[in-house]
Amino acid sequence: MVTKEMKCKTIIATAAMSALCKSLIKVCATEGIDVIGVIRKKEDLKTPLDLGFKHALNLTSPAFEKDLREIAAKTDARIAFDAIAGDMPGKLLSAMPSNSTVFVYDLLSGKPSSVDSLKDQLEKENKKLQRFSVFECKVIKDPEERRKAFDYIQKDVEEGGKLFKINVLEKFTLDEFKTAFETYAKVASTGKIIITPNP
């Protein structure tokens, strides 16, 4: 919805290998919206492209900010969804065109968003940093929009989960808690694990 309001045909998404972003790219594809995926590991660079991302950028590359600036300008990417926080929103806003907005919905870095050094640039170029919470968006607050969203998701689930299916890799009991988290640390970008009550 926000992409339609801002008339934006390309968005940027950090944590591009997450389950959420994998669903995001599929939903965007149905709406004719391209996604620039930001990944953390060099070995994941080809995978986002396989998933349908228009571009994939390696966050650890020395040329990351330069490449992002060039691609954002070329595609007029004025919306970004960021799950990292810390200095990432600042990097995104600095590289994005005028009239851009970065929506922060998580803090994977463990640090709050910081854009203090960009204050003048943000004001001059009309760039914004906003918190994004599903509980505060129009889709949840408006009963009619909420019903449409639930119907959309339910229809997808009934048809096999082409958009919102989560890849569950393994199940563990509570007694296997430690092993479960050690396993998840190794496979976080490929799927989820489930912890169930002890039998």
CA-wise closest residue to 59 among 97, 25, 12? 12
Q: What is the dihedral of CA 168, 174, 180, 181, to 10 degrees?
A: 110
Question: Percent of the chain, pLDDT > 70?
Answer: 91
What is the rounded distance in angstroms from the CA atom of residue 122 to the CA atom of residue 100? 9
Return the pLDDT at 142: 81
Indicate the average pLDDT of the chain: 86
Q: What secondary structure does DSSP assign to 132-157, as a single string?
A: --TTTSHHHHSHHHHHHHHHHHHHHH
Please report the DSSP string for 61-109 in residue order.
Answer: STTHHHHHHHHHHHHT--EEEES--TTHHHHHHHHSPSS-EEEE---TT
pLDDT tens by residue, 38-74: 988 766 666 656 667 778 898 999 999 999 999 999 9
144/138 Cα distance (integer angstroms): 10
Task: Please state, as a whole number, how many other Cβ atoms lie within 10 Å of the Cβ of residue 59.
Answer: 18
Claim: this prediction has a pTM higher than 0.85: no
**pLDDT tens digits, residue range 4-41?**
777 889 999 998 888 888 888 888 888 899 999 998 87
| Two structure tokens written together for 45 | 């660079």
- Cα Dmax for the chain: 60
How many beta carbons lie within 10 A of that of residue 188, not counting itself?
14
d(CA 39, CA 48): 8
Q: What is the pLDDT of residue 43?
A: 62
Predicted local confidence at residue 49, as pLDDT: 61
> What's the average model confidence in pLDDT over 163-177?
86
